[in-house]
A and B are shown apart, each in its own frame.
Chain A
Amino acid sequence: MANTLRLYLTCIRNTLEAAMCLQNFPCQEVERHNKPEVELKTSPELLLNPVLICRNEAEKCLIETSINSLRISLKVKQADELENILTKKFLRFLSMRAEAFQVLRRKPVQGYDISFLITNYHCEEMQKQKLIDFIVQFMEDIDKEISELKMSVNTRGRLVATEFLKQFV
């Protein structure tokens, strides 16, 4: 299990290293505007082929690149209903606070749980390697956090159930 995760993350890392070659490119259609081309998708010559990396049916990563921006969309594994609601709650919580992350998108791409938008400006302010490390670390942390949350909720439930049944004894 850990091996497949390592391979998955390594594949994503290598793809991001190749894809994160961004440069400033003003908008071709509107004067004095500078927009992330991966979001608009109006000029096909500025877009690269999107790459979809699937670990399994439930977990996948979509990397869409353009000349001045890069969009990474993640689908996190959700084994049962509890993980489903915990994932939704947590990722929605993070998305609502996207300004704290700078590279996080407020709304995930349809079909995915969370999305990042990295522009050439981010690459100028931050180191490329550190950005990639952050994305990969984020993916690991999310998985770990959801598992820990699920375990905590079940443990709390067990303790509360024990306290309830103590009243009868």
Chain B
Amino acid sequence: MASFERASPALKEILLRIYRAEKPIEVDHHLYEFGSVEYHIKSSASAPQLTYLSISTPLLTQGVLLSYGLSPYTTQMVREISTDVLEIVEPATEGYQLTLRLDFSKIPRGKDSLKVITEVSSVQSIILSSQLKEMLQSVNSWDASQGMYKPIKLVYHPREPFYVIRQPHKIVAVFPMRFKDYSDVIIATSFFQELMDVGSSEKWAKAPPCNWSPIPPAELRGEPLEDLSTNGGFVSFDISSRHVEGKRLDKTVWSLLNFYAYVKHHVKCTRGFIQRRMRRRLESLVEVLQNSSLEDDRHIRKFQENAGWQYMKKLVKLSSKSKILKRSCRDFTRKIMRIRFRIKIHGFGRFRRRWLTMLKFSSSKGYTKLE
């Protein structure tokens, strides 16, 4: 169960495409989903209204149940999805546990069509939850003469079994938690402690009491050691009759079946959150260091710029006055020279500028000569 939605998104899309097709189309899809779920959808152009849907899903094994396939309760729950549209084909296609014949002509038009197709797409979740529902529905019918019940081991995923133990007036669901990484164990453990804290508060008194312990609970004594060796401890929920009344039964069953996936999803999201936060913090820490190294340069540059600008400002302010002064001096000297030097040599000025001016000292390294 990769997603927490009951309806398979891929199956829903294919069924909608077949339903909405304007012309009859040939369809023969094999669909594989996470959790070893396999679908086979077949529709032929010669009979466009009929579509065959075969499902293969790992059942909650209990030893006895598996050998007889789906229980009558499960087949009844599947029929109740839509009695008009859906019909169970006996026997099922080879390699599959269940084959359904869907009659699209009987699907009501409009918005209801989407609802019906969504319910058909959730057939796998209905099969899975019906088995657990059967067990939980008998919470009130516990017989005192039977004594202590042996824990029932339910295996959806080969490495993630969980136990259901019947007790007077309640059923206890125990989840042994295992994680690959040590940091996952710590994150999950903090989550379980929060779950216990929240569950024990008055506001959530109606929710099933939750308990976490690092060691196996007493009810699981006698179970094989390989099933009881965990690194994440054991989480148990006490399901009472209040949690299985009416519509709550469906929600309770779905929540219990998805508990492992829920925890793993939370751990994965937390790791992603930590990573994102570390990256953001890195940027801010590096910025501090960069500012510390560049700050002085900026100050010096600013000072120089400011000094240059102020100098320029001063120059601009004075230039008009100095220009006028210079111009008037130049004119005056020229007048004097004209009066004094009546003999003019053409080109002497150029000669003087080229050969008679003092050379300025310059260095490639930009040193200024000290006097």
Contacts and interface: CB of A to CB of B under 8 A. Distances in A.
Interface string A88-112: 0110011001001111000000000
Contacts of B255: 164, 167-168
Given A82-B186, A82-B190, A168-B208, A134 B195 contact: no
Contacts of B221: none
A134 B292 CA distance: 8
Given A127-B292, A164-B255, A168-B248, A97 B282 contact: yes
Interface stretch (B46-54, B72-80, B273-281): B273-281
B243 A168 contact: yes
Nearest to A159: B194
A2 interface: no
16 contacts: A81-B186, A84-B186, A89-B183, A93-B278, A97-B282, A126-B293, A127-B296, A130-B292, A130-B293, A131-B292, A137-B288, A152-B273, A156-B270, A158-B198, A162-B198, A168-B208
A-B pairs, top 8 by smallest CB distance, nearest first, are A130-B292, A157-B194, A165-B207, A161-B195, A157-B191, A126-B293, A168-B207, A85-B183
B337 interface: no
Contact of A145 (B198, B199, B262, B281): B281
B289 A102 contact: yes
B274 A101 contact: no
Contact of A126 (B262, B269, B292): B292
Interface of B: 182-183, 186-187, 189-191, 193-195, 197-199, 204, 206-208, 210, 243, 248, 251-252, 254-255, 262, 266, 269-270, 273-275, 277-278, 281-282, 285-286, 288-289, 292-293, 295-296
Nearest to A84: B186
Contacts of B281: 90, 141, 145
Interface of A: 81-82, 84-86, 89-90, 93-94, 97, 100-103, 125-127, 130-131, 133-134, 137-138, 141, 145, 149, 152-154, 156-158, 160-162, 164-165, 167-169
Nearest to A137: B288
Nearest to B277: A149
Find the residue from A102, A153, A162, A168 having the highest chain B CB count within 10 A.
Answer: A168
B175 to A, nearest CB: 12
Contacts of B190: 82, 153-154, 157
B292 A156 contact: no
Nearest to B255: A167
Contacts of A169: 204, 206-207
B282 A93 contact: yes
Contacts of B266: 156-157, 160
Contact of B289 (A84, A134, A157): A134
Nearest to A167: B255
Contacts of A85: 182-183, 186-187
Contact of B278 (A89, A100, A126, A158): A89
Nearest to A133: B292
Contacts of A161: 191, 194-195, 197-199
Contacts of B206: 168-169
Nearest to A155: B194
Contacts of B207: 165, 168-169
A127 B293 CA distance: 7
Contacts of A133: 292
Contact of B282 (A94, A125, A130, A137): A94
A162 B251 CA distance: 15
B240 to A, nearest CB: 10
A131 B288 CA distance: 10
A85 to B, nearest CB: 5
Contacts of A162: 198, 204
Chain A CB within 10 A, most for which of B204, B274, B275: B274
A153 B295 contact: no
Contacts of A168: 206-208, 243, 248, 251-252, 255
B292 A165 contact: no
A138 B269 CA distance: 27
A93 B280 CA distance: 12
B274 A86 contact: yes
Nearest to A158: B194
A32 B198 CA distance: 66
